Amino acid sequence: MLQTKTLSYHYTPNVQLTFPDITLSFHENLLILGPSGVGKTTLLHLLGGLLKPTAGTINIQNVAIDKLSQKKLDAFRGKHIGIVFQKGTFIKSLSVIDNIKAKLFFSKASVSDAEIKDILTTLGLAEKINSKVRELSEGQKQRLSIAIALCNKPDVILADEPTASLDDENAKNVIELLSTYAKEKQANLVVITHDHRIKEYFANTIML
Amino acid sequence: MNLWKLGIKNIRFKPLNAFLSVLLLALSIALISAAFHLKKIYENQVDANILDIDMVIGAKGSPLQLILSSVLHIDAPTGNINYNQAKKIVRNPLIKTAVPISYGDNYKGYRIVGSTEEYFNVYNAAIAKGTFFNASKELVIGSVVAEKLHLKIGDEVTSSHGLTEGIESHEDKLKVVGVLKSTGTIIDQLLVTPLETVWHLHEHGGEVHEHEEDKEVTAMLVSFKNPMGMLQIPRRVNATPGMQAALPRFELERLYGLMGVGFKVISLIGIAILIVSGISIFISLYRVVKERTYEIALMRTYGANRLQLFFIVFIEGIVIGVVGYILGICLSKLGLWFLKNYMETGYKMNVKTLFLLPEEWWLGGSVIGVIVLATILAVLPIFNMNVSKVLADEN
């Protein structure tokens, strides 16, 4: 469940971004489209609790996250929100499996090794479980980024240009993976992108 | 997965980052610790050997030399004094004991000291095997001498002229009749014989001391009954032709004043390097934090709070600190071990070293303090980082 009202963020008095209200009930997905520079990433970061809105409210799972203290917000984010980043970026000193375990550690989730293996197998990373992250290909990095976002079973998945650097085939795979997960877990999937290829997968679309 | 593992993995990922810091820290710890130990060894050496020798009477010359030669047995004597004259001076109600010693010979580098049975009381030395001497040409040997030279009761030795291993030997044989228990003092490294032996050995050719009044000793070790003695007796001794009184504690304090500057300089160099190493640890951690700004932001999105991130960096610092400290202490121990061997073989000194001095615990505490400070300074910039901005800039 995700709901925003009269959300706005001011970088400077001259750069003020306002966003349309969003209301998503269980397992509803949303695609936010728009060219660069209109504040897509800002909106995503507001939804993820990485930025505090200048005005307006954000409710996730009936918690007003704009009212939470920094420490509670960190904990809430870890437990309820999974973020997939555009470029697969990880903790470089850790292996594939340890990156997942680090995420689970910080989000205080207890997930069995078998479940981790399942996720990695689904994403075609079973072979790479002990590899160093720098040895992965671009596609594999993107999939690992998804695995990390999903491994602790968040209620909201925020994806920032998850398909930008992928070919048609991989872009399709990634979106299907994310939608399938959202459907199974009754989670909300919010994707921001300028990639029109993936429009057909979403019922709700907002143009910024 | 836990914070420890993350910190350790980070170090192992780029070990060179930490290497210079560890090296500098180890060096500073080694120097400071060595200075502490040297000071301690010196103090122990002095305290163990002065015991209750309040004053030494000997031939005129350098008072420090007199103390070094008669008390610590590491220098040549200033000369001899007339035994009868000395005995007259020490016949005084303020004097508790006065033990004559006479020396000038050695056996394989270990000094042979002529004295009376009272000499053993000065060092609280008890017999381990055999008996004290009863007659001239009998020897009672210290524990180190017995051990190093493999001497046992009944062995006969030939003494050599001079105080270091020499060429010219006396013909007379001296017989070992007793071995002393270890005392941790200089007597462990001496061969003690009655005064008569030394006199006898030195009756060269026609130069025979027939009269009691011609007998000489090298020094008298005196202890006072009360501090008044300290005021009166030295003045009387110094007024006697050819004689001087030297106060061991005073002379060795003076010597310590000179050596103390050395210890201080070593300590100061160590502290300077410690400061540099603290700065180096800070720079290393700061660089690590800067390099990983993005990863740190990522961990924040995973749900990590700021204290946890602080700890990851702190663990890296503390590993540098602990490794550096242990390495430094090992270096200092290694250095002291070489020094100890050198002093024991070169100077026949029995050096006792302690494992860890209280000062070294303090040193360890300061290292942790330095690391906490370095971590706080290094982490400060990311404590209020704009996670959103860091992530947006990277993507």
- Tokens 């420890």 belong to which residue? B4
Neighbours of B375 (CB within 10 A): 25
B394·A41 Cβ contact <8 A = no
In this structure, are residues B96 and B225 in contact, taking their beta carbons and an 8 Å threshold?
yes
Considering CB atoms only, which of B305, B388, B395 is closest to A85?
B395
Neighbours of B212 (CB within 10 A): 8
Amino acid in the structure at residue B253: E
Instruction: Give me the pLDDT at residue B337, please.
Output: 87
DSSP helix/strand/coil, B217 = strand
Each residue's pLDDT tens digit, A130-148: 999 888 888 888 889 989 9
Residue of A nearest to B11 (CA): A93
Instruction: Give me the pLDDT at residue B331, please.
Output: 93
Mutation target vs A (from B388, B389, B394; most A CBs, 10 A cutoff): B388
- Which residue from A86, A112, A95, A108 is spatially nearest to A166, judged by alpha carbons? A86
Distance from CA of A50 to the nearest CA of B (A): 5
Amino acid in the structure at residue A118: D
Domain residue ranges of chain A, discontinuous segments joined by +: 2-207
Instruction: Give me the pLDDT at residue B351, please.
Output: 64
Q: Assign A76 a pLDDT band (cuts: 50, 70, 90).
A: very high
Considering CB atoms only, which of B13, B295, B388 is closest to A51?
B388
A92·B295 Cβ contact <8 A = yes
For residue B303, the chain A residues in CB contact (below 8 A) are 74-75, 77-79, 106-108
Distance from CA of B386 to the nearest CA of A (A): 8
Neighbours of A111 (CB within 10 A): 17
Cα A160 versus chain centre, distance: 7
Instruction: Give me the pLDDT at residue B206, please.
Output: 42
Q: Assign A169 a pLDDT band (cuts: 50, 70, 90).
A: confident
**What are the phi and psi torsion angles at B93 (to 5°)?**
-65, -20
Give the integer Cα–Cα distance in Å for B394 and A79: 24
Instruction: Give me the pLDDT at residue B395, please.
Output: 60
Instruction: Give me the pLDDT at residue B267, please.
Output: 83
* The CATH number of domain A2-207, selected from 3.40.50.300, 3.90.1170.50, 1.20.1530.20, 3.40.800.20: 3.40.50.300
B387·A105 Cβ contact <8 A = no
A93·B305 Cβ contact <8 A = no
- Those residues whose C-beta lies under 8 Å from the C-beta of residue A6, and which sit 6 or more positions away, are A18, A21, A55, A56, A57
For residue B14, the chain A residues in CB contact (below 8 A) are 93
Whole-angstrom Cα Rg for chain B:
31
Pairs of CB atoms within 8 A across A/B: 84
The residue ranges of chain B whose pLDDT is under 70 are 163-170, 203-213, 345-354, 394-395
Residue of B nearest to A69 (CA): B305
Higher pLDDT, B48 or A23: A23
Instruction: Give me the pLDDT at residue B192, please.
Output: 93
Instruction: Give me the pLDDT at residue A189, please.
Output: 93
Structure tokens at B263: 């210890």
**What are the phi and psi torsion angles at B230 (to 5°)?**
-55, -30
Instruction: Give me the pLDDT at residue A32, please.
Output: 92
Give the integer Cα–Cα distance in Å for B160 and B169: 4
- As to burial, measured by CB atoms within 10 angstroms (0-12 exposed, 13-18 middle, 19+ buried), residue B70 is buried
Considering CB atoms only, which of B302, B306, B394 is closest to A89?
B394
Residue A91 touches chain B, beta carbons under 8 Å: yes
Instruction: Give me the pLDDT at residue B222, please.
Output: 93
Task: Please give the full DSSP string across B26-38, using - where no structure is assigned.
Answer: HHHHHHHHHHHHH
Residue of B nearest to A154 (CA): B302
- Which residue from B231, B292, B311 is spatially nearest to B3, judged by alpha carbons? B311
A78·B306 Cβ contact <8 A = no
- Which residue from B85, B98, B101 is spatially nearest to B240, judged by alpha carbons? B85
- Which residue from A107, A156, A150, A191 is spatially nearest to A1, judged by alpha carbons? A156
Touching B: A residues 126-155, CB under 8 Å: 148
Give the integer Cα–Cα distance in Å for B104 and A176: 100
Instruction: Give me the pLDDT at residue A198, please.
Output: 86
**pLDDT, average across residues A35-40:** 82
Q: Assign A163 a pLDDT band (cuts: 50, 70, 90).
A: confident
Give the integer Cα–Cα distance in Å for A27 and B386: 30
Whole-number mean pLDDT of chain A? 88
For residue B384, the chain A residues in CB contact (below 8 A) are none
DSSP helix/strand/coil, B161 = strand
DSSP helix/strand/coil, B101 = strand
- Those residues whose C-beta lies under 8 Å from the C-beta of residue B284, and which sit 6 or more positions away, are B17, B18, B20, B21, B320
Residue A87 touches chain B, beta carbons under 8 Å: yes
Residue B71 DSSP code: T
In this structure, are residues A165 and A194 in contact, taking their beta carbons and an 8 Å threshold?
no
Give the integer Cα–Cα distance in Å for A185 and A49: 21
In this structure, are residues A103 and A79 in contact, taking their beta carbons and an 8 Å threshold?
no
B13·A45 Cβ contact <8 A = no
- Those residues whose C-beta lies under 8 Å from the C-beta of residue B155, and which sit 6 or more positions away, are B175, B176
Each residue's pLDDT tens digit, B191-246: 999 988 888 877 654 444 556 667 889 999 999 988 888 888 898 889 888 899 99
Instruction: Give me the pLDDT at residue B184, please.
Output: 79
Instruction: Give me the pLDDT at residue B205, please.
Output: 43
Each residue's pLDDT tens digit, A94-108: 999 999 999 999 988
Q: Which residues pair with A191 in a beta bridge?
A: A31, A159
Each residue's pLDDT tens digit, B314-351: 998 899 899 999 999 999 999 988 888 887 766 556 66
